[in-house]
């Protein structure tokens, strides 16, 4: 069996974030309020067709796989990028800083979305902040 990080979107949408998955056949897509990621169980014609339907129903989707996917029926690639996956082997304690790092909460969501929209660090949507713990500097 492969490592979960070999297929991070599939692993997420069939694991701890399964409640956010929209399913169609052998394809899954994250609820668009949280993100744009999608994946297929296997690259079969049926799963790829199901993914095409999800894209048409729910908007642009992002795939994160070890290799580029085959063509998805009735869709077009609008952009592609190399995605570097980094995993820490050791967690290094934070050095002292002269500012406060705070845990962000639902009340911070509008500011988080505004900053992400301004700086474009990657896909960030109205409920992305609910995917995990976020910290910030205020």
Domain identity same for 46 and 107: no
pLDDT for position 1: 54
Count CB atoms within 10 A of the CB of residue 56.
13
Q: Are residues 76 and 18 in the same domain?
A: yes
Q: What is the pLDDT of residue 15?
A: 97
In a domain, 94, yes or no: no
pTM: 0.85
Q: How many residues are present in the chain? A: 138
Q: Is 124 exposed, middle or buried (0-12, 13-18, 19+ CB in 10 A)?
A: buried
Tens of pLDDT along the chain (138 residues)? 588 999 999 999 999 999 999 999 999 999 999 999 999 999 999 999 999 999 999 999 999 999 999 999 999 999 998 888 888 899 999 899 999 999 999 999 999 999 999 998 888 999 999 999 999 998
Residue 13 to residue 15: CA distance in whole angstroms? 6
Select from 46, 53, 41, 33 the least CA-distant residue to 113.
33
Round to whole Å and give the CA distance between 78 and 60.
9
Residue 121: per-residue pLDDT? 83
Whole-number Å distance between alpha carbons of 94 and 87: 17
| 8 Å CB contact between 73 and 52 | yes
Q: Are residues 30 and 74 in the same domain?
A: yes
Whether residue 92 is contained in a domain is answered as no
């Amino acid at each position: 069996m492969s490592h979960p990080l070999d297929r991070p979107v599939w692993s997420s949408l069939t694991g701890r974030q399964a409640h956010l998955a929209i399913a169609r056949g052998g394809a899954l897509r994250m609820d668009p309020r949280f993100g744009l990621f999608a994946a297929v169980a296997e690259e079969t014609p049926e799963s790829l067709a199901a993914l095409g339907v999800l894209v048409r129903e729910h908007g642009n989707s992002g795939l994160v796989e070890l290799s580029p996917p085959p063509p998805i029926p009735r869709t077009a690639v609008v952009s592609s990028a190399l995605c570097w996956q980094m995993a820490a082997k050791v967690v290094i304690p934070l050095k002292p800083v002269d500012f406060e790092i705070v845990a962000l909460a639902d009340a911070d969501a509008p500011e988080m979305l505004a900053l992400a929209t301004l700086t474009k660090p990657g896909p960030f949507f109205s409920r992305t902040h609910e995917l995990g713990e976020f910290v910030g500097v205020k």
